[in-house]
């Protein structure tokens, strides 16, 4: 179970199993504890959740974060699709302009660089 636990949204640390408790319905639930980050040099670096205890089901329930991860994954896939198409366009354009000096090629290379990628 601990391998599937979400990290702390503030410091990224993994929570530790901290036994069990009962919820308001009387059901036994897993409980997690945020470890103290003793290696923090000053109090400013200590995670505000250090030492706190959370019901595991509440800790794992992050609909906004899950939605953002899904959206990020979709955007990465879309970006890879765009880069793939741009790569095909560049390959095709190189057959007509082997030195890549045309205005169209410059725009494509500029767009790719703007995205933080590089096509040689
Ligand atoms: Zn933390």
Cα of 7 vs centre of ligand 1, distance in Å, is 8
**What local confidence, expressed as pLDDT, does residue 111 receive?**
78
**What local confidence, expressed as pLDDT, does residue 35 receive?**
94
pTM over 0.95: no
Which segments in the chain show pLDDT lower than 50? none
**What local confidence, expressed as pLDDT, does residue 4 receive?**
85
**What local confidence, expressed as pLDDT, does residue 41 receive?**
64
Of the candidates 61, 88, 105, which is a domain's last residue?
61
Please give the residue range of the domain that contains residue 101. 66-114
Do 76 and 106 belong together in one domain?
yes
Give a yes or no: residue 43 inside a domain: yes
Of the candidates 61, 77, 92, which is a domain's last residue?
61
Residues around the ion ligand 1 (C-beta < 5 A): 8, 10-11, 47, 49
**What local confidence, expressed as pLDDT, does residue 26 receive?**
93
**What local confidence, expressed as pLDDT, does residue 98 receive?**
64
Q: How many CB atoms lie within 10 A of CB 68?
A: 11
**What distance in Å separates the CA atoms of residue 51 and residue 82, rounded to the nearest whole number?**
45
Cα of 11 vs centre of ligand 1, distance in Å, is 4
């Amino acid at each position: 179970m601990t391998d599937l636990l979400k990290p702390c949204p503030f410091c990224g640390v993994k929570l530790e199993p901290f036994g069990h408790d009962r919820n308001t319905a009387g059901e036994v639930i897993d409980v997690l504890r945020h470890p103290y980050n003793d290696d923090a040099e000053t109090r400013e670096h200590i995670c505000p959740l250090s030492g706190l205890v959370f019901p595991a089901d509440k800790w794992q329930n992050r609909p906004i974060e899950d939605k953002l991860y899904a959206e990020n994954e979709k955007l990465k896939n879309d970006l890879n699709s765009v880069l793939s198409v741009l790569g095909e366009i560049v390959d095709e354009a190189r057959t007509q302009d082997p030195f890549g000096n045309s205005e169209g090629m410059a725009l494509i290379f500029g767009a790719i660089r703007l995205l933080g990628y590089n096509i040689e």
